[in-house]
Amino acid sequence: QKEVEQNSGPLSVPEGAIASLNCTYSDRGSQSFFWYRQYSGKSPELIMFIYSNGDKEDGRFTAQLNKASQYVSLLIRDSQPSDSATYLCAVTLSGGYNKLIFGAGTRLAVHP
Amino acid sequence: ETGVTQSPTHLIKTRGQQVTLRCSSQSGHNTVSWYQQALGQGPQFIFQYYREEENGRGNFPPRFSGLQFPNYSSELNVNALELDDSALYLCASSLFGGARPEQYFGPGTRLTVT
């Protein structure tokens, strides 16, 4: 079982819709949870991080964390074609150094 | 812009050669982590440097080594290059021991081994 799993996609949504990206993780010791956006040929860009159960909102983005279900999601409201990218979920474990463990990413395509 | 810089941007090497990649961390950060990202995959943790010492290592062989300097910049060295080492190499800057756990990535170095 992979430590962090994401659906590879592509997830295709129309412009203006809500895009929902999901991620599950296997280690219950996971402490912090991150969403990065990566455009083709570019490096990952941090969108949000969350470490407490519940929702965290930042502009059009909402991260949701459910530690009991080992599940974290990212909602993108009013999706725009410029949101088309690969979204990487990453977690860090408790204790020691904070190495990021990434999923393989979900490719999002927002069509006009 | 994260303030994290990497050089060079692209590099082509031959199998068996050695390569050095460089990273300058964001102002105020004291930790640099290195990741390898193969095509279509998420980044894989190589190692982390804090206080000029290796502070954790992923599942990479010893021919991957690094350094951190007093100004917190860092180098990644790879010896005896193999074809599978072709990837995007990313460094990430962070503040160890701080309240915020985020890591910010530089633009990456694309390494091609032929």
Rounded alpha-carbon distances, angstroms, from residue B35 to A72, A94, B29, B38: 22, 20, 17, 10
Contact between A88 and B94 using a beta-carbon 8 Å cutoff: no
Residues of B with Cβ-Cβ distance to A46 under 8 angstroms? 102-105
User: How far is it, in rounded angstroms, from Cα A38 to Cα A90?
Assistant: 13
Q: Are B112 and B85 in contact (CB under 8 A)?
A: no
Contact between A99 and B105 using a beta-carbon 8 Å cutoff: no
CB neighbours of residue A41 within 10 Å: 8
**Ramachandran region, residue B85 (left: φ > 0; alpha: ψ -120 to 50; beta: rest):** alpha
Find the residue in B nearest to A9 (Cα): B40
Residues of A with Cβ-Cβ distance to B107 under 8 angstroms? 42-43
Q: What is the mean pLDDT of chain A?
A: 94
Hunting for tokens 């040929």 — which residue is that?
A41
pLDDT in tens, A8-37: 889 999 999 999 999 999 988 888 999 999
Q: Does B65 reach chain A within 8 Å, measured CB to CB?
A: no
pLDDT band at A40 (very low <50, low <70, confident <90, very high): very high
Residue stretches of chain B with pLDDT short of 50: none
Contact between A43 and B106 using a beta-carbon 8 Å cutoff: yes
Residue A95 has pLDDT above 70, yes or no: no
Residues of B with Cβ-Cβ distance to A30 under 8 angstroms? none
Contact between B102 and A46 using a beta-carbon 8 Å cutoff: yes
Q: Does A62 reach chain B within 8 Å, measured CB to CB?
A: no
Greatest Cα pair distance, chain B, in angstroms, is 43
pLDDT at res. A96: 61
- For residues A45-78, b (16+ Cβ closer than 10 Å) or e, as one string? ebbbbbeeeeeeeeeebbbbbebeebebbbbbee
